Homo-oligomer: A and B are copies of this chain.
Amino acid sequence: MAMDFTAETATDAVVDSFAPTPDPRLRELLTGLVRHLHDFVREAEPTRAEWERAIAFLTEAGHRCDEARQEFILLSDVLGVSMLVEAINDRKEPAATDSTVLGPFHMVESPARALGDTLDLVGAGEPCLISGRVVSVDGTALPGATLDVWQADDQGFYDVQQPGKQPPGNGRGLFTADAEGRFWFRSCVPSPYPIPTDGPVGTLLEATGRHPYRPAHIHFIVSAAGHLPVTTHVFVAGGDHLESDAVFAVRRSLVQEFAEVDDPALAAASGLANPFRRALFDIVLQPVTA
């Protein structure tokens, strides 16, 4: 590097400054980041006031982050970056369950629950039974697979968003599939909800005329020995916002019916009043290949 950095020499000077980076992957990432970021700046020609606004935006976003809130994940989500990273890393066999974004609310450990337990510790929502099997792409059951599940309540809020109001662990559960890879648990039917709009990401959505809603869904991270884990959602078929998810995370393959079921025997066996809503689907994992 020398003195008299200009718009023309800027990028090479900064890229050169990262040349001594010992880790080649870090060097590659920073080189790409600098080249694309500088291209954006040269093309957009931000004024100093716009640059200051960007600094202030990032600072506000940082100040919004705590144990219960992750504004940078929200930002990544609404800019489609989270889903793009998912799409890029989703190099599995087509038969395996599609992945989608992690989202900003997987910040506390889900409490271990027994199969058949309910996630709905409050009992305010419409009860439903969720069940299926965890299998490998060839259909082999995956006994002992773990399912980390979390969802918002019937009002669209996660437990961590309402610490005084919802008991900790409401809407969350860590389940272990049985010897045939089966899982079943109860919950309330999830509702569409707005992502948190009281921070800078909400201000951005407001300023751009975008709505903040996500279609109703339940989050899953499913893992089994010898297989790639999947981070995904199950979306409620027929719900609002499936075509305009604020975080671009809907995949058609993940939309499932939560149909009303009239089955007194199953209702009794599941601890539910008849009739009840039921979602039935399998999670298909891809084996780790050497």
Contact = CB atoms under 8 A, between A and B. Distances in A.
Contacts of A22: 207, 209
Contacts of A26: 207-208
Given A14-B248, A37-B36, A59-B72, A6 B87 contact: yes
A32 B27 CA distance: 24
B76 A51 contact: yes
A250 B3 contact: yes
A33 interface: yes
Which among A6, A85, A102, A245 has the greatest number of chain B C-beta atoms within 10 A? A85
A237 to B, nearest CB: 11
A65 interface: yes
Nearest to A210: B17
Contacts of A248: 1, 5, 10, 13-14, 17
Interface string A31-73: 0111011111111111110110001001101111100001011
A21 B208 contact: yes
B84 A58 contact: no
Q: Which DSSP category, helix, strand, loop or mixed, fits chain A's interface?
A: helix
Contacts of A73: 55
A83 interface: yes
A61 to B, nearest CB: 6
A198 interface: no
A51 B85 contact: yes
Nearest to A76: B55
Contact of A81 (B38, B81, B250): B38
Interface of A: 1-7, 10-11, 13-14, 17-18, 20-23, 26-30, 32-34, 36-48, 50-51, 55, 58-59, 61-65, 70, 72-73, 76, 79-89, 102, 207-210, 231, 242-245, 248-252, 255
Given A41-B84, A59-B62, 13 more contacts: A3-B250, A4-B251, A5-B83, A7-B88, A11-B80, A18-B210, A36-B36, A37-B81, A38-B84, A46-B85, A48-B86, A59-B65, A62-B64
8 contacts: A5-B248, A32-B43, A36-B39, A36-B43, A45-B89, A58-B58, A59-B70, A62-B72
In order of increasing CB-CB distance, the 10 nearest A-B pairs are A62-B62, A20-B209, A14-B80, A36-B40, A21-B208, A7-B87, A3-B250, A10-B84, A32-B44, A58-B72
